[in-house]
C-alpha cells in the first residue's frame, strides 16, 4: 500500500449538535494504539479487523468519560486504506470534545475538511470521480441526486473510461508495431475494429458530457 501520510488524524464523523450518538473517527498508523491507550475493554492491537468492541473510554486519571462501542478496520481493508477506528459515543458535546482532546493528547492531529476522503484517494481506494461522489452523496437532497452519487461512487462512468482507455492503448500499440514493420507491409491493427472503437469512444465522451450537464442540473435543483 502506498501510504500517503504518516500522521494519524481524528475528527467528529457525525454532524455537530445534540443527538443520541456521536461518532469519532481516527485514521492513520497510530489509530489503534491511540484508541487502545484510552479504551478499557478488548485489546484492539490483537483484535481482528471489522469487529466491534464494547468498553469505556477513560481519561489520564483513569476516570470513565463514556461507555462506547469501538469499530475496528485494519489496513488496507478500510475506507482510507489505513488503520481506521470509529468510536461511537453518547451524543453529549462535552463527551465528544473530551474524547477528541484525549486522542489529540495521545498524538493524533485534527483532520482537515475532506482529509479522510483525500487519504482514500491517495491510497488508491477510489478515483477522483468517486471522491467527488462522496461529497455529492452527503449533500444529496433528492432521490435523483442520491442515485447519481451512488452510481458514481460505485465506479459509474470511470469504469467506462477505463475500459475505453485499455482498448485505445491496445490499438495504439498495434499501430506502433506496424510502424516498426512498415517495410514488411504487415497489418496488426484491424482497421474496421479501430473505426468502431473511435466511433464508440466519441459516443461515450458525448454521453459523459451530457450526463455532466444533467448531473449539474440535478444538483442545482436539489
Please report where in the chains the cell 516498426 appears, as a residue: 180
Choose the weakest-confidence range: 123-127, 181-185, 203-207: 181-185
Q: What count of other Cβ atoms lies within 10 Å of the Cβ of residue 23?
A: 17
Q: What is the mean pLDDT of residues 195-217?
A: 68
| Cα–Cα distance, 206 to 149 (Å, whole number) | 20
Q: What is the pLDDT of residues 79-113, one digit of tens each?
A: 899 999 999 999 999 999 999 999 999 999 999 98
Residue 43 has pLDDT above 90, yes or no: yes
Identify the bridge partners of residue 86 per DSSP, sorted by sequence position.
25, 71
d(CA 36, CA 210): 50
Phi, psi of 57 (to 5 degrees): -95, 130
Question: CATH 1.20.120.430 spans which residues of the chain?
Answer: 128-221
pTM for this prediction: 0.66
Domain 9-122 in CATH 3.30.1360.120: yes
- As a CATH number, domain 128-221 is 1.20.120.430
Q: Which residues of the chain form CATH 3.30.1360.120?
A: 9-122
Buried b (16+ CB within 10 A) or exposed e, 74-112: bbeebbbbbbbbbbbbeeeeebbebbbebbeebebeebe
> What is the rounded distance in angstroms from the CA atom of residue 28 to the CA atom of residue 75?
9
Least confident of 18-22, 57-61, 150-154, 206-210: 150-154
Amino acid at each position: 500500500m502506498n501510504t500517503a501520510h504518516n500522521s494519524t488524524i481524528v475528527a467528529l464523523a457525525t454532524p455537530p449538535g445534540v443527538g443520541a450518538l456521536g461518532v469519532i473517527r481516527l485514521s492513520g498508523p497510530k489509530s489503534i494504539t491511540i484508541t487502545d491507550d484510552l479504551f478499557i475493554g478488548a485489546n484492539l492491537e490483537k483484535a481482528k479487523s471489522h469487529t466491534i468492541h464494547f468498553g469505556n473510554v477513560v481519561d489520564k486519571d483513569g476516570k470513565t468519560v463514556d461507555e462506547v462501542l469501538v469499530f475496528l478496520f485494519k489496513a488496507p481493508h478500510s475506507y482510507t486504506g489505513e488503520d481506521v477506528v470509529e468510536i461511537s459515543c453518547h451524543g453529549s458535546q462535552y463527551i465528544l470534545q473530551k474524547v477528541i482532546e484525549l486522542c489529540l493528547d495521545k498524538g493524533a492531529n485534527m483532520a482537515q475538511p475532506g482529509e479522510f476522503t483525500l487519504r482514500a484517494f491517495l491510497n488508491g481506494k477510489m478515483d477522483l470521480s468517486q471522491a467527488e461522489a462522496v461529497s455529492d452523496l452527503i449533500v444529496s437532497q433528492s432521490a435523483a441526486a442520491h442515485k447519481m452519487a451512488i452510481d458514481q461512487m460505485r465506479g459509474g462512468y470511470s469504469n467506462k473510461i477505463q475500459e475505453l482507455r485499455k482498448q485505445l492503448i491496445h490499438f495504439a500499440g498495434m499501430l506502433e508495431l506496424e510502424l516498426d514493420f512498415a517495410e514488411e507491409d504487415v497489418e496488426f491493427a484491424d482497421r474496421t475494429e479501430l473505426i468502431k472503437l473511435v466511433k464508440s469512444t466519441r459516443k461515450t465522451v458525448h454521453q459523459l458530457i451530457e450526463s455532466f450537464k444533467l448531473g449539474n442540473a440535478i444538483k442545482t435543483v436539489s
